[in-house]
Chain A
Amino acid sequence: MQLFKSSSYVGSGAQKLSRSLARWFPTPAMLYPPAAGIDISDGSIKWLLLQPYKSRYRIASYGEMVIEPGIVVNGTVHDVDGLAHALSEVKKRLGGVACAHAALPEEAAYVFEMHVPDGTAHDQVISMIEFGFEGRVPIAPGAAVYDFDVIQRHDESEGADIGVAVFSRELAEAYVAAFDAAGMQLLSLEVEARSIARTISSTASDEPVTLLVDFGRARTGFAVLKLGIPIFTSTVEVGGEGITKTVAEQLSLSPEETQKFKNEQGLFPDADAKPEGMEALIGTASALADEVARHYHYWDTRRNEKGERMTPVGRVVLVGGSANLKGLPDYLAGRVQAPTSVADVWRRVCNFDEYIPPVNSRDSLQYATAAGLALRSFSV
């Protein structure tokens, strides 16, 4: 089957062998330059640069830079020069690294799953994807950029499932222009959920379908991951900022105290906690839980013509800066009746016996996308 020209499907044995060979005979930096993972959101740019260390990697550089409001709005670049200026500031902190991998926002993505017959050539798959636009993507193929990852190959020559990501060409070109103007070589663009999935997915063939919840400051992104490949993404206007604002106002707390309250009291406060703050927390958590449950039940109960469950969701994984709200995983687990946990962002980055990253576990949730992008440099 030739469709695996850009495939992410590699047998685990081959992957291990490849990793061992790469460790002993690393590709010279001159041929394959190091590249930072750069996560651009409406409010900030986060970057993370990895370098090989012992059996895995270590963080060479990381950070966050706040960008002016209006430069990026809902993931769309409104001010290319402004973004380029911010990126050039980031470049100065990368220690001479001028290449980057970046992610495009889920709001602008059209992600779907397709089945392709066995023996389909890469170009034919691209043609099939273009046909698949109808009814799924409201953009003409000529005005879109798209690519696919192979999710799994079926036995007995029954073909393969692929996850397709489509974006508007204009959006992608704006990102490319900003990186060019900043003097950075952009090596790849991918959907944000794919980057996060790279950090949390085990790539094991028996990994359950995962509902990824990226609980951010202003919005929450949902992605259904099948073996680490997104087959659906959406965003809702529920974010942690609302909680922060309400708690700060009602309890008259400083931003630091509010953060502390969210992280240490959260949804399971001490007996002497003020009920006003709790109401704000419960209100937002409930709205988020409704959305999680809606997505979860839709995907969990989808059945094919034979009546078999197509995407039985096995777990819910939380990432994003607002996922630190104490008690949130238990609260959501109670609502969707499924295992729910906060992601371990460093799972594939480092082994804690060998290296402790300088970013603590709470802050690491904000770097999930950047870490996934940085891992891309190492073909993880």
Chain B
Amino acid sequence: MSNVLPKEAKKAAWRMYRARFVIAGSLVALAAAGLSALALLPSYLALHAAEPVSAPSNTAKSAGSETDRAALTSVRAMVETLSPLIATTTPAAAITQALSARPSAISIDHITYSADSPGMLILAGTAATREALGGYRQALSANSLWKTVFVPVGDLTGEPGARFSMSLSGDF
């Protein structure tokens, strides 16, 4: 369509369009940033909620070091805080269940998860007694969530306070 506006007036009109485009683009970017912040907010709150929680009494009795206890407490608090949001996240639920079955004589300091089919969870830590480790394995085997619970024979027969590892597999 022809437009006989003088050049300066045409430029002014284009400046207006450009300014509006920039404002609209900025608003879209702001909205995207807001949505991103909203998506990250639960994780942020969970991290901060985990910090002030003090170690529960049962973990105090465990044989693990103060650092390990603190880390475990933090993970547990985080899992508890996020549980309403991650209720459908099976790996998190699986970790929670694996940790909840743990007797006080068992200390877990390392958890590895691999999302294969079936999923694999490797727990590593120290067992105060062989009986405690055996009992922990039996408790986990009794749970239908786990397809297999494997502890190396050497770990089951190890010295009291020795390190162990445990492989758990299942649909999570």
Contacts and interface: CB of A to CB of B under 8 A. Distances in A.
Interface of A: 6, 8, 28, 30-33, 104, 145-149, 163, 165-167, 169, 172-173, 176, 185-191, 194, 376, 379
9 tightest A-B contacts by CB?
A147-B2, A188-B3, A145-B4, A176-B9, A149-B2, A189-B4, A189-B5, A30-B24, A8-B1
Given A28-B24, A30-B23, A146 B13 contact: no
Given A185-B12, A186-B13, A187-B13, A176 B5 contact: yes
A172 B1 contact: no
A376 B3 CA distance: 11
A8 B4 CA distance: 14
B37 interface: no
A185 B16 contact: yes
A97 B6 CA distance: 22
A167 B1 contact: no
Given A31-B17, A33-B20, A173-B9, 18 more contacts: A30-B23, A145-B4, A146-B4, A147-B4, A149-B2, A163-B2, A165-B2, A165-B4, A166-B4, A172-B4, A176-B9, A186-B5, A187-B13, A189-B4, A190-B1, A190-B3, A191-B4, A376-B1
A190 B24 contact: no
Contacts of B21: 31
Contacts, number: 64
B120 to A, nearest CB: 48
Nearest to B15: A185
Given A28-B24, A149-B1, A376-B1, A172 B6 contact: yes
Interface residues of B, number: 15
A24 B28 CA distance: 20
B13 A6 contact: no
Nearest to A172: B6
Contacts of A172: 4-6, 9
Contacts of A169: 6
A104 B24 CA distance: 33
Nearest to B7: A145
Contact of B6 (A148, A149, A166, A173): A173
A201 to B, nearest CB: 13
A185 B23 contact: no
A191 B23 CA distance: 33
A32 B19 CA distance: 11
A121 B12 CA distance: 25
A176 B12 CA distance: 11
Contacts of A6: 1-3
Contacts of A146: 4
Nearest to A146: B4
A188 B12 CA distance: 11
Contacts of B9: 172-173, 176, 186
A176 B10 CA distance: 10
A8 B6 CA distance: 19
A234 B114 CA distance: 84
A188 B16 contact: no
Contacts of B24: 28, 30-31
Interface string B81-114: 0000000000000000000000000000000000
Contacts of A187: 5, 13
Interface in B1-55: 1-6, 9, 12-13, 16-17, 20-21, 23-24
A174 to B, nearest CB: 10
Contacts of B3: 6, 147, 188-190
A173 B23 CA distance: 29
A148 B5 contact: no
17 contacts: A6-B2, A8-B1, A8-B2, A28-B24, A30-B20, A31-B17, A31-B20, A32-B17, A145-B4, A147-B3, A165-B4, A172-B6, A186-B13, A188-B1, A188-B3, A188-B5, A190-B2
A3 to B, nearest CB: 12
